[in-house]
Amino acid sequence: MPPADKALPKMPPGMKKPAGKRPAEPGSGEPVSLPVIDEGPSKLTRADFTSDQDVRWCPGCGDYVVLATVQRLMPEFDVPKENVVFISGIGCSSRFPYYMKTYGMHSIHGRAPTIATGLKASRPELDVWIVTGDGDSLSIGGNHIIHLMRRNVNLQILMFNNQIYGLTKGQYSPTSEVGKITKSTPFGSIDHPFNPIALVLGAEATFVARTMDRDPKHMREMIIEAHDHPGTGFLEIYQNCNIFNDGAFFEYTEKATKAASTVEIEHGKPLVYDNGNKGLRLDGFRIESIDLTNGKWSVDDCLVYDETNRDLAGIICRVFWSKDLPQPFGVFYREQRETYEETLHNQIESVIKKVGKGTIEELLHAGDTWLVE
């Protein structure tokens, strides 16, 4: 890993800032010298990011919350509006770019990561977002998702997971549970589902997080984290499809059950849930739930989460479809690694430095030549 203070190569204006260096808000904490405010972006509001197109998702769809959260957040990012690009594939969530008043492309099924990679690699100053779903990114686009992760292209990917195919009207998806009854599986699905977090961790992702549509505050934080990560920020969003898979995540999202069935993972903090009544501890390589009320265990026994530990992320993300353990939400893993486009352009610059910038004359006359009189 490069040292934290390693100077990043010079990038054009609008290039995303490295994580942890968001400008401090005036009045918060220690006095800071106010940065010179660029008039452009600071004046923008949600309306500046809302296109004139009618939103055509079903009433009650979880997608609305994500859209509203992103539209509200955009003015807060220190990015010129014209540098923002949303790229999507196919599916309900992939209609997202039409509703953003930014540059955008609603592309073809599963291929958004390829288009976003080509765009970001050739235009590093742009702020590129991928919006995708569980079918788009994990089925037809599965190959591209894993390669996006290992390359660490500096963009963020919002993966709406509703565990169903919505736009094709209700077939099981690669994240649907075994036994799921759908139009294409009248006797129950027999496919074992993907664990998306484990998948991208295995693909060398540098930022991995999960949030849910019913907690806009948490979602907002996670989107900021994913956006500010200098590398591919992967965010899985549990999203309710109220037409074809209503209530898939209610256990985690509804008030009555949320506290006991979810745990928020935060770097440097003990894993405590159920309003402080329960915690998670490591027993060897296994996670176990402990009761903090009976005097046997205390918060000190709980696992203190370390988001820079890939092995730990690998263990905690396996809490998946478990009856006895709470579903984790938050940042699973974060790593600083040089981005694809930085390395790419550094290499080009180093070659130019070494051999000089090519001209068309040199191009044509290179190699062995001879004259015919």
Minimum CB distance to another protein, residue 135 (Å): 16
Q: How far is the CB of 150 from another protein (least distance, A)?
A: 9
Cα–Cα dist 130/39, whole Å: 27
- Cα-Cα-Cα-Cα dihedral sign, residues 256, 262, 267, 270: positive
Task: Give the residue with the Cβ less far from another protein, 110 or 330.
Answer: 110
Q: What angle do CA 157, 161, 166 make, to 5 degrees?
A: 115
Which CB atom, from 49 or from 329, has the smaller least distance to another protein? 49
> Least CB distance from residue 197 to another protein, whole Å?
21
Binding-site member from 111, 214, 258, 337 for another protein (CB under 8 A): 111
Q: Identify residues 327-356 at the interface with another protein (CB under 8 A).
A: 344, 347-348, 351-352, 354-356
Q: CB of 228: closest distance to another protein in angstroms?
A: 20
Restricting to residues 69-88, name those near another protein by CB under 8 A: 80-85, 87
Start-to-end CA span in the chain (Å): 60
The answer to the question of residue 147 lying near another protein (CB under 8 A) is yes
Does 47 help bind another protein (rule: CB under 8 A)? Answer: no
Strand pairing class (127-133; 84-88): parallel
Between the alpha carbon of residue 214 and those of residues 2, 271, 362, the distances in Å are: 37, 21, 60
If binding means CB under 8 A, how many residues of this protein chain bind another protein?
A: 64
Tell the smallest beta-carbon distance from residue 373 to another protein (Å): 6
Q: What are the two backbone dihedrals, phi and then psi, of residue 289, each rounded to the nearest 5 degrees? A: -90, 135
Nearer to another protein among residue 145 and residue 226 (C-beta): 145
> Parallel, antiparallel, or unpaired for β 156-161 and 127-133?
parallel
- Our finding on whether 52 is near another protein (CB under 8 A) is yes
Taking CB under 8 A as the rule, does residue 10 contact another protein?
Answer: no
- Collapsing DSSP to helix, strand or coil, 241 comes out as strand
Which strand (E) or helix (H) includes residue 263? Answer: strand 262-265
Assess 126 for contact with another protein (CB under 8 A): yes
Assess 368 for contact with another protein (CB under 8 A): yes
Q: Which is nearer to another protein, 17 or 345 (CB)?
A: 345
> Least distance in Å: CB of 3 to another protein?
27
b/e map of 309-326 (b: 16 or more CB within 10 Å)? Answer: ebebbbbbbbbeeeeebb
Q: Which residues of this protein are in contact with another protein, per CB under 8 A?
A: 14, 51-53, 80-85, 87, 90, 97-98, 100-108, 111, 113-123, 125-126, 143-144, 146-147, 344, 347-348, 351-352, 354-361, 363-365, 367-373
